[in-house]
Amino acid sequence: MSSVTQKKGFGAHVWDYLTTVDHKKIAIMYLAAGTLFFAIAGFEALLMRIQLMFPESDFISAGLFNELLTMHGTTMLFLAATPIIFAFMNAIVPLQIGARDVAFPFLNSLGFWLFFLGAVFLHLSFFLGGAPDAGWTSYASLSLYSPGHGIDFYILGLQISGAGTLISGINFIVTIITMRAPGMTFMRMPLFTWTSLVSSSLILFAFPPLTGGLFLMLVDRMFGANFFDHTMGGNTIIWEHLFWIFGHPEVYILVLPAFGLFSEIIPVFARKRLFGYSSMVFATILIGFLGFMVWAHHMFTVGLGATANAIFAVATMAIAVPTGMKVFNWILTIWGGSIKVTVPMLYALGFIPSFVAGGVTGVMQATAPLDYQLHDSYFIVAHFHYVIVGGIVTALFGSAHFYWPIMFNRALNPKLGALTFWVFFIGFHLTFFIQHFLGLMGMPRRVFTYMGGQGWDLFNFISTIGAIMMGIGVVLLVIDVLLSIKSEPVNKRDYWGDGRSLEWAIETPLPFYNFKQTPLVRGYDPYWIEKEEGNKEGMVYAEPLGEIHMPNNSILPLIMSIGTFIAAFGALYSPWGDQAQAGATHASPAVSLALIIGGLGLTIGCMIARSFKDDLGFHVTVAEIEAIESDLAHYRATGKKGGNK
Amino acid sequence: MMKGLKKWRLFSLLTVMTVFLSACGEDYLSTLRPAGAVGKEQLNILLLSIVIMALVVVVVSTIYLVAFFKFRRAKLGENHMPKQVEGSHTLEVIWTVIPIILLLILAVPTLNSTYKFADVAAMDEVDEAGNKTALTVNVTAKLYWWEFEYPDLGIITAQELVVPTGEKVYFNLIASDVKHSFWIPSVGGKMDTNVDGINKFYLQFDKESVGLNDGEGVFYGKCAELCGPSHALMDFKVKALEPAAFDAWVAAMKATEGQTASADSADVGEAAFANSCIGCHAVSAVAGSGVGPNLTTFGDRNRLAGFMEHSVEETTNWIMDPEKYKPGNTMTGKYNVSPEEAKAISEYLMKLTVEK
């Protein structure tokens, strides 16, 4: 690191990414991995929609369809939306709070590798004898009944990946609480940082129930335990509770940062301060809290009784109030502003009505007696896609355009971006609006086929056309990204001209230590304040130029993750459980034990090695900082390399 | 805004919604065209909630569009600097209170109906003679078919539920293998069939099913919970008969007591059935729960296996290879019959009827 003008070959670059603890590089890895899984899950969705385009179609088989619907849901929520949210949290949160990295850079890397190897493990199921097929909810009676190893892949893959998510969540809580620049009080934190904090806290409380539930199911399947086997005194409803105690907050884990991203985009392109900042913060916390209290609204038809249903119905409706506050605050931010319709703003503008539509159907389902009709019908499919695509995916696409200059020092093409938006947005409404009616007309969800003449044929056909348009939209976005590689570097601060928070105050490309001097935050929207006062430097500093302490790179997180990955194979092919007795492929006890002990041993060995090594990081001297800064300035002026990268 | 205007808007919106929505879907399947008290009440809540929600969407979208078109930079000039407003307590209070009021309006019927639909106390009521006053049906969901037992009448059937109109019919719901969900969309909301215990609820059938769907004469029932490869094919049908016709049907069902297939029968189909099928399938409605669907009313049925055409030819195909039509079913490989036998069995099954 100390050698500024070091030249690197391809192998060195790969090694750099495998060992990096730099939050900006981890962000890029999260973005790349998340996009890969987003594409896979989107392709799965397209296959399902093609199957449902016509009644009694035999494009794909019933068994494969169930695998696709399971993997589509699981991948989209755990392996696409979550990592892409983490990509933006990693890329932006440290910059927004004026930090040089996250609190635990080593854990940040470990979180990524666990997520990634867990995701790879889950996807290997397609090649190793069948993917999970019991839905992303994996309800216990069906998942215990499911033959083969599909469900084992689900349990083990999510367990590993979930550990990564939990680690990352804790990391962000600590980072945001302890690493804010001087002057950045809690009530001066940008909304995206706020929502990241609340979302990370939700991760902290929501993932352990999932971990526990997955563990019980793992023991059921691996060793023939009977936590969920009702014939042996187990109870399948407990799985439903455990799953939804995790599963409902999960939606808010994803959508709150999406709200935060829009709260960054809208003020910039309205050239106006976010309206009602304190009520936005309050609403975020309230949504986070209520998000935990309402899991049983997924279980109105399970038979919990009238009182439980009534309580959960009213509690669920209450969420509409803080969410409504947010929507009005966004609109009032636009009101009286000066709106510039850029690509990120297009997504924000498209988001507001789409999300309101998704939100109000949520209130309809909260109405328990009405939910008896809506539950498990296509109405539900329409509702949650309105929330997840209309809320989260638009946020991710919009933010990709918004933050591309900071993350890659390149801009995406605005014309292609607008085209992508319109194709995707129209396709999205075409696909899902009509599904509300399919549900009301009696079509259950998760069906691989339907008989003709039940009044569903035309609507299903239209829905598929919409899905194809969404697919084309995503392909256009990928083309846009590929074109941006060859485009001119941005080389400036405040790409959009109206940036308000700290991340816009640094000139791109960013040095690896972010801020050469920690900024002093003098109010909400600190960079805007400096611009108002005509500060050409961008910031006021809280410290003189001095040595910067940075963490060392490490390969250990990757090796630790590989250890769990190996152990998971041992558990998967365990010879002791019901699956093995029922004839599913299994390893000999010796091989299985060797894999489990060897894999976990590798992981634990790395932990021991790490705990014995006093890794204090390194210091960047003032001379080195000056050299890096002058190299970067040289690069920005001439476009010639010679910088630290 | 004037109060009168608001009311007028609400009313017209409601009317438009009703007309628009009732044109949606088929009357034997759509939740928008209910044929029973439960479904009607659910539709009313649906309409109320849609009207409230549509109002919200319209108001929000209007403010949003006005804000957007009024304050575009293209219109205001590139250098226009808006006032940096912090917020407004008055406005924030307004848009906190209004949603709360709207939700309260919705919460009242919600709570009311939740308790009403869960009230199954009448299930165990008896008259002076000690007979149950309400009709109870035990529903057992299996891979991938439905068993309907009438415990107080001592009869059992499968795949086609027969109920009287004009009274509450109570259901005990359970699944015997994995979780399913019992749903007759046009009659009322669903209830899960768990493996762990019995769920109870009621539905009311106010309309006879005769004449529905160009003479098909049945309501459609669905399984709403993912239960394996053939989840989509786990359909059932419901015949709602006026009480007299229902009583006649019950009597005919009871009269099948002791009916069985004889291996010595001159009917080749009956003999083959007796040799290969009787182990799982009963042909008497008083026989109790069996491994496979009770076939006493096979000839009266509307569909084969819940979704296939009800013909000798299709039945033969089904017997020869059920896996092809319902993947993952538990019938495949349990017997061995030749194509000729299968055809004879199908012809025999078509003669099993209590209605003709």
pLDDT, tens digit, for every residue of A351-397? 999 999 999 999 999 999 999 999 999 999 999 999 999 999 999 99
What sign for the dihedral angle of Cα A486, A487, A491, A495? negative
User: Distance (Å) from the C-alpha of residue B163 to the closest C-alpha of chain A?
Assistant: 20
Closest residue in B to A300 (Cα) is B191
pLDDT for A1 equals 42
Q: Closest Cα partner for A479 from A489, A491, A471?
A: A471
| pLDDT tens by residue, B50-96 | 999 999 999 999 999 999 999 998 888 888 889 998 888 999 999 99
| pLDDT tens by residue, B255-301 | 999 899 888 988 999 999 999 999 999 999 998 888 999 999 999 99
Residues of B in contact with A62 (CB under 8 A): 229-230, 232, 327-328
CB A17 within 8 A of CB A25: yes
DSSP conformation class of B41 = H
Q: State the pLDDT confidence band at B214, using cuts at 50, 70 and 90.
A: confident
pLDDT for A643 equals 44
pLDDT for A469 equals 97
Q: Using CB atoms, pick whichever of B41, B49, B175 lies closest to residue A363.
A: B49
Which 291-310 residues of chain A touch chain B by CB within 8 A?
301-303, 305-306, 309-310
Q: How far apart are CA A137 and CA A72, in angstroms?
A: 12
User: Distance (Å) from the C-alpha of residue A369 to the closest C-alpha of chain B?
Assistant: 5
Test B92 with A272 for CB contact under 8 angstroms.
no
Average pLDDT along chain A: 93
Q: Using CB atoms, pick whichever of A277, A309, A367 lies closest to residue B45.
A: A367
Let me know how many helices (H) and strands (E) chain B has, helices first.
10, 12
Average pLDDT along chain B: 91
User: Distance (Å) from the C-alpha of residue A642 to the closest C-alpha of chain B?
Assistant: 37
Radius of gyration of chain A (CA): 25
A237 contact B CB<8A: yes
- Tokens 């199921």 sit at which residue? A125
What sign for the dihedral angle of Cα A278, A280, A281, A287? positive
Test A306 with B114 for CB contact under 8 angstroms.
yes
On the question of pLDDT at B1 being above 80, the answer is: no
Test B71 with A135 for CB contact under 8 angstroms.
no
pLDDT for A585 equals 83
Q: How far apart are CA B45 and CA B109, in angstroms?
A: 7
Q: State the pLDDT confidence band at B10, using cuts at 50, 70 and 90.
A: low
pLDDT for B130 equals 85
- Tokens 């969410």 sit at which residue? A323
| pLDDT tens by residue, A409-456 | 999 999 999 999 999 999 999 999 999 999 999 999 999 999 999 999
Range B178-203 average pLDDT = 95
Range B181-204 average pLDDT = 95
Residue A605 one-letter amino acid: G
Q: Are strands B145-150 and B199-204 parallel, antiparallel or unpaired?
A: unpaired
Q: Closest Cα partner for A283 from A223, A340, A326?
A: A326
Closest residue in B to A317 (Cα) is B103
pLDDT for A219 equals 92
Range A273-297 average pLDDT = 94
On the question of pLDDT at A645 being above 80, the answer is: no
Residue A282 one-letter amino acid: F
* Share of residues in chain A with pLDDT > 90 (%): 87
pLDDT for B2 equals 45
Radius of gyration of chain B (CA): 27
B254-267 burial string, b = 16+ CB within 10 Å, else e? Answer: eebeeeebeeeeeb
A20 contact B CB<8A: no
For residue A120, count other CB atoms closer than 10 A to its CB: 17
- Count CA atoms within 13 Å of residue A27 on its CB side: 21
Q: Using CB atoms, pick whichever of B31, B96, B225 lies closest to residue A325.
A: B96
Q: Using CB atoms, pick whichever of A139, A324, A371 lies closest to residue B95.
A: A324
pLDDT for A396 equals 97
CB A114 within 8 A of CB A31: no
Q: Using CB atoms, pick whichever of A317, A371, A444 lies closest to residue B107.
A: A317
CA distances from A629 to A4, A406, A624 (A): 10, 17, 8
CB A438 within 8 A of CB A456: yes
Q: Using CB atoms, pick whichever of B68, B175, B307 lies closest to residue A339.
A: B68
Q: How far apart are CA A489 and CA A3, in angstroms?
A: 24
- Count CA atoms within 13 Å of residue B59 on its CB side: 17
On the question of pLDDT at B11 being above 80, the answer is: no
Q: Which residues pair with B162 in a beta bridge?
A: B239
CA distances from B304 to B231, B249, B319, B345 (A): 16, 20, 11, 14
| pLDDT tens by residue, B85-127 | 888 899 999 999 999 999 999 999 999 999 999 999 999 899 8
Q: What is chain B's length?
A: 356
CB A568 within 8 A of CB A156: yes
User: Distance (Å) from the C-alpha of residue B228 to the closest C-alpha of chain A?
Assistant: 7
Test A369 with B196 for CB contact under 8 angstroms.
no
Test B195 with A327 for CB contact under 8 angstroms.
no
On the question of pLDDT at A159 being above 80, the answer is: yes
Test B233 with A449 for CB contact under 8 angstroms.
yes
pLDDT for A7 equals 61
CB A287 within 8 A of CB A256: yes
Q: How far apart are CA B325 and CA B332, in angstroms?
A: 10
On the question of pLDDT at B23 being above 80, the answer is: no
CB under 8 A, 24+ apart: contacts of B259-267: B259/B283, B259/B284, B259/B296, B260/B284, B261/B348, B267/B344, B267/B348
CB under 8 A, 24+ apart: contacts of B108-112: B109/A367, B109/A369, B109/B44, B109/B45, B109/B48, B110/A310, B110/A313, B110/A314, B110/A317, B110/A366, B110/A367, B110/A368, B110/A369, B110/A370, B110/B45, B111/A310, B111/A313, B111/A314
The beta strand positions in chain B, using DSSP E, are: 135-142, 145-150, 155-158, 160-164, 168-175, 180-184, 188-193, 199-204, 219-223, 236-241, 303-304, 308-309
| pLDDT tens by residue, A571-593 | 999 888 877 788 888 888 999 99
Q: How far apart are CA B318 and CA A446, in angstroms?
A: 24
Q: What is chain A's length?
A: 645
Test B99 with A277 for CB contact under 8 angstroms.
no
On the question of pLDDT at A256 being above 90, the answer is: yes
On the question of pLDDT at B153 being above 80, the answer is: yes
Q: Which residues pair with A442 in a beta bridge?
A: none
Residues of A in contact with B41 (CB under 8 A): 369
Range A253-272 average pLDDT = 96
Test B118 with A306 for CB contact under 8 angstroms.
yes
Range A65-89 average pLDDT = 96
Residues of A in contact with B178 (CB under 8 A): 141-142, 145
| pLDDT tens by residue, A23-54 | 999 999 999 999 999 999 999 999 999 999 99
Residues of B in contact with A444 (CB under 8 A): 183, 222-224, 232
Closest residue in B to A304 (Cα) is B199
Range A602-610 average pLDDT = 95
Residues of A in contact with B25 (CB under 8 A): 437, 440-442, 455
Range A475-504 average pLDDT = 93
Q: Using CB atoms, pick whichever of B76, B103, B225 lies closest to residue A320.
A: B103
On the question of pLDDT at B309 being above 70, the answer is: yes
User: Distance (Å) from the C-alpha of residue A86 to the closest C-alpha of chain B?
Assistant: 30
pLDDT for B65 equals 92
Q: How far apart are CA A336 and CA B88, in angstroms?
A: 13
Q: Is residue A550 classed as helix, strand or coil in its secondary structure?
A: strand
Q: How far apart are CA A517 and CA A629, in angstroms?
A: 12
On the question of pLDDT at A5 being above 60, the answer is: no
Q: Using CB atoms, pick whichever of B63, B195, B197 lies closest to residue A141.
A: B195
Q: Which residues pair with A563 in a beta bridge?
A: none
DSSP conformation class of A189 = S
User: Distance (Å) from the C-alpha of residue B187 to the closest C-alpha of chain A?
Assistant: 10
CB B254 within 8 A of CB B126: no
Q: How far apart are CA B42 and CA B38, in angstroms?
A: 6
Test A314 with B110 for CB contact under 8 angstroms.
yes
Cβ-Cβ contacts under 8 Å for B215 (sequence gap 6 or more): none
CB B191 within 8 A of CB B173: yes
pLDDT for A644 equals 44
Q: Closest Cα partner for B255 from B284, B289, B278?
A: B284
Q: Closest Cα partner for A108 from A508, A553, A506, A510?
A: A553
User: Distance (Å) from the C-alpha of residue B189 to the closest C-alpha of chain A?
Assistant: 4
Identify whether A513 is preceded by a cis peptide bond (ω within 30 of 0). no
Q: How far apart are CA A515 and CA A505, in angstroms?
A: 10
